[in-house]
Amino acid sequence: MTRMTRTHLLGLSLAGLFLVLGAAGCQDPKDQKIKDLTAENEQLRGDVAARDQQLNDGLTRDNDGRETIDPLNRELAKLRADGGKMKEAEGGWVAGTNFDFMSLPENVLFESGKATLTGDGRKKLAQVAADIRSRFGDRDVYVFGHTDAQPIKKSKWKDNWELSSQRSLTVVRTLHELGISYGQLISASCAEYRPVIADKVRLDQPKNRRVEFFAVRRGAGAASVSKVNPED
């Protein structure tokens, strides 16, 4: 009787162990699905939060850039009213209130209608890069591409916006190749809409085809730049 009881108990114990192991290995599919969906939802929440942060960072940079560019345009309008200063700026740096400024004519850097640097153009940008390193290493450098108002007809560009943008990008990339950090450079384009000479009859004014450089003191926002009416 004792032997049968022990055998019986051993059998019951083994059966109980198998039931426990079976329950652990055979989880309800619904429970697993819920866990999977919960984990996926948490991942999506994290992705959305990261994208929201990237968007906010981008908007902040855009606003900071606008607060800098708008005052620059106002001060540049004042600078342009001084013909002597503008003449000095052609190929050399001129000091403004919160920035130093230089303008290079198209024919110094590019052939007409093209956005590929000439050999002399690259040499000139080597000088610009040396100036940035020696004089403006702690500043942001804005590079503005400009064209005349002559419509694009023969070249591959869609319009003057595209041409001025490509020229600005070419200059920025070349300055980077010459040792200037991308974090210090800002590329912008104005097409024909900020002319030096606003001649409605003669649309191909050579002086309007140029690349401008602004070496801007960081933190020089709207509040710290003199208020001058912006140029149309």
Of 12 and 139, which is predicted with more confidence?
A: 139
As a 3-state breakdown, the chain gives helix, strand, coil percent values, each rounded to 5, of: 55, 15, 30
**What is the reported pTM?**
0.63
- Residue 177 CA to residue 116 CA, distance in Å, equals 15
pLDDT at 60 over 80: no
Of the segments 5-14, 24-33, 149-158, which one has the largest average pLDDT value?
Answer: 149-158
- The bridge status of strand 139-146 relative to strand 210-217 is antiparallel
Query: What type of residue sits at position 75?
Result: E
Written as one string, the DSSP assignment of 147-184 is: --SPPP-SSS-SSHHHHHHHHHHHHHHHHHHTT--GGG
Residue 1 has pLDDT above 90, yes or no: no
pLDDT at 70: 67
Arithmetic mean of pLDDT, 61-65: 50
How buried is 90 (Cβ within 10 angstroms: 0-12 exposed, 13-18 middle, 19+ buried)? middle
Closest CA to 142 of 231, 196, 227, 66: 66
**What is the arithmetic mean of pLDDT over 57-61?**
49
pLDDT in the model for residue 148? 94
Nearest partner of 197 among 209, 211, 179, judged by Cα: 209
Q: What is the pLDDT of residues 158-171, one digit of tens each?
A: 999 999 999 999 99
pLDDT digits (tens, 9 = 90+) for 71-103: 766 776 666 666 566 666 677 898 888 889 999
